[in-house]
């Protein structure tokens, strides 16, 4: 029997990799996409299947995590074997601007899905994966963080995800639903949203290298994170739903870097040597030397990074470092791609786009507009 999976957030970074992964495993994959005035399926266009084709194995449904009746109807129609709840307002800084919406989608959205499973009597059929997060640890109580580390979220996003974490545990305990939390530390890829820090850096520096921008404006570059590759992490999301007993797992690399290090790596990938000068909000990154052909628009002495306090958060998560021992011991999972390799891959992809845009500009044509976030 072909297994059926439903992915909320299929148009996002993780959703796109997970959909590919499940299709390769032979699943019929259903995804919920939001109605948008612009196309929002770029990350899954390469696996899109014409609804008129026979044996279509990827099916998209309009929906929203704020809409209970819509979620219930989709679940009733599909009766999935597995639900992956990846949909969320996932930007921590944005959650301070839209706290109520973030709670509605990230916290109550999770409850809506679990309630729909219960209401439809799918408790024994449908397995549920919740995209939990290292943001639950926030103000960290121990390092490295593991499944037993106490939570102290530091943003409306983190607090909403705390509710989602516990309601997932509660529905497992109360109704016997196979439901589990993957407590995932930061994971990135060339498909990462452009306003998350790694992608902002790789995309920004590639644009600067090709003469499309002059300077990148950043927030707290001393924040420390445990960065992995999204491809490695979606594999683990699936593995968690294949066990006999549902459990929660930390997914991380166990290695930590600063935002500053990621900046230096990105520059190095482009043949740029950087020097940091000044401190606090006056800190800048100056180009010391340029080698190779990837950054023709950059020369020694250029200031290509400045600090802008608008990117500071009202409450910051300064440091995160995960301990993935349980995932390794119980599921045999280890990440295959290092943060440095991932940075190189992201630069290759963003440089391709920047070169294309530079060529368009050189021919006097209009560039696609993008708004910085």
Q: Which residues are catalytic?
A: 133, 135, 157
Which residue in the shown chain puts its C-beta closest to ligand NDP?
12
The secondary structure of the chain, three-state, reads CCCEEEEECCCCHHHHHHHHHHHHCCCEEEEEECCCCCCCCHHHHHHCCCCCCCCCCEEEEECCCCCHHHHHHHHHHHCCCEEEECCCCCCHHHHHHCHHHHHHHHHHHHHHHHHHHHHCCCCCCCEEEEEEEHHHCCCCCCCCECCCCCCCCCCHHHHHHHHHHHHHHHHHHHHCCCEEEEEECCEECCCCCCCCHHHHHHHHHHHHHCCCCCCEEECCCCCEECCEEHHHHHHHHHHHCCCCCCCCEEECCCCCEEHHHHHHHHHHHCCEEEEEECCHHHCEEEEEEECCCCCCCCCCCCEEEEECHHHCCCCCCCECCECCHHHHHHHCCCCCCCHHHHHHHHHHHHHHHHHHHHHHHHCCCCCCCCCCC
Residue 58 binding ligand NDP, by CB under 6 A = no
> How many residues in the chain?
373
- Output the CA torsion sign for 353, 355, 360, 361: positive
C-beta of 78 vs 307, nearer to ligand NDP: 78
Distance in Å, CB of 82 to ligand NDP, minimum? 16
Among 8, 155, 237, 253, binds ligand NDP (CB under 6 A): 8
- Interface with ligand GDR (CB under 6 A): 90, 92-93, 133-135, 185-186, 195-197, 200, 218-221, 223, 225, 259, 311, 313, 316-317
Residue 64 binding ligand NDP, by CB under 6 A = yes
Q: For the window 180-199, what string marks contact with ligand NDP as x by the rule CB under 6 A? A: ----x-xx-----x------
C-beta of 95 vs 126, nearer to ligand GDR: 95
C-beta of 93 vs 208, nearer to ligand GDR: 93
Distance in Å, CB of 318 to ligand GDR, minimum? 7
Distance in Å, CB of 124 to ligand GDR, minimum? 30
Distance in Å, CB of 16 to ligand NDP, minimum? 8
Structure tokens that stand for 23 in this block: 């299709």
Residue 237 binding ligand NDP, by CB under 6 A = no
- Between residue 101 and residue 130, which ones bind ligand NDP under the rule CB under 6 A? 105
Distance, CA of 160 to CA of 95 (rounded, Å)? 9
Single out the segment in contact with ligand NDP by CB under 6 A; choices: 29-37, 111-119, 198-206, 322-330: 29-37
Distance, CA of 84 to CA of 15 (rounded, Å)? 9
13 binds, among ligand NDP, ligand GDR, none (CB under 5 to 8 A by kind): ligand NDP
Residue 153 binding ligand NDP, by CB under 6 A = no
Q: For the window 65-104, what string marks contact with ligand NDP as x by the rule CB under 6 A? A: xx-------------------xxxxx--------------
Cis peptide before 34 (omega within 30 of 0): no
Nearest CA among 180, 231, 176, 241 for reference residue 5:
241
Distance in Å, CB of 164 to ligand NDP, minimum? 9
Among 4, 6, 15, 27, binds ligand NDP (CB under 6 A): 15
Distance in Å, CB of 188 to ligand NDP, minimum? 7
Distance, CA of 157 to CA of 288 (rounded, Å)? 39
Distance in Å, CB of 187 to ligand GDR, minimum? 8
C-beta of 31 vs 219, nearer to ligand GDR: 219
C-beta of 90 vs 256, nearer to ligand GDR: 90
60 binds, among ligand GDR, ligand NDP, none (CB under 5 to 8 A by kind): none
Binding site for ligand NDP (CB under 6 A): 8-9, 11-15, 32, 34, 36, 40, 64-66, 86-90, 105, 131, 133, 184, 186-187, 193
């Amino acid at each position: 029997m072909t297994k059926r999976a439903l992915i909320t957030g299929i148009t996002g970074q993780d959703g796109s990799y997970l959909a590919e992964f499940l299709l390769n495993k032979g699943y019929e994959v259903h995804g919920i996409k939001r109605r948008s005035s612009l196309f929002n399926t770029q990350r899954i266009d390469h696996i899109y299947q014409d609804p008129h084709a026979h044996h279509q194995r990827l099916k998209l449904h309009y929906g929203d995590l704020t809409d209970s009746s819509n979620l219930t109807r989709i679940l009733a129609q599909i009766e999935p074997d597995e639900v992956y709840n990846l949909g969320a307002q996932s930007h921590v800084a944005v959650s301070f601007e839209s706290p109520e919406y973030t709670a509605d989608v990230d916290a109550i959205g999770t409850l809506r899905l679990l309630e729909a499973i219960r209401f439809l009597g799918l408790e024994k059929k449908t397995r549920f994966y919740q995209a939990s997060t290292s943001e639950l640890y926030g103000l960290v109580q121990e390092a490295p963080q593991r499944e037993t580390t106490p939570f102290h979220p530091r943003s409306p996003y983190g607090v909403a995800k705390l509710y989602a974490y516990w309601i997932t545990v509660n529905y497992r305990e109360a109704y016997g639903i196979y439901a589990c939390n993957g407590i995932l530390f930061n994971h990135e890829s060339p498909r990462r949203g452009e306003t998350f820090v790694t992608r902002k850096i790789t995309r920004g520096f590639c644009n600067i290298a090709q003469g499309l921008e002059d300077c990148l404006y950043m927030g707290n570059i001393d924040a420390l994170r445990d960065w992995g590759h999204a491809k490695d992490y979606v594999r683990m999301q699936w593995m968690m739903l294949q066990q006999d007993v549902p459990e929660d797992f930390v997914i991380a690399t166990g290695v930590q870097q600063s935002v500053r290090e990621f900046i230096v790596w990105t520059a190095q990938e482009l043949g740029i040597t950087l020097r940091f000068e000044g401190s606090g909000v006056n800190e800048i990154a100056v180009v010391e030397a340029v080698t190779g052909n990837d950054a023709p628009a950059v020369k020694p002495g250029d200031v290509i990074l400045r600090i802008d306090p608008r990117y500071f958060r009202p409450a910051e998560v300064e440091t995160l470092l995960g301990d993935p021992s349980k995932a390794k011991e119980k599921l045999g999972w280890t990440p295959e791609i290092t943060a440095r390799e991932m940075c190189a891959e992201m630069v290759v992809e963003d440089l391709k786009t920047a070169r294309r845009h530079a060529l368009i500009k050189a021919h006097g044509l209009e560039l696609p507009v993008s708004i910085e976030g």
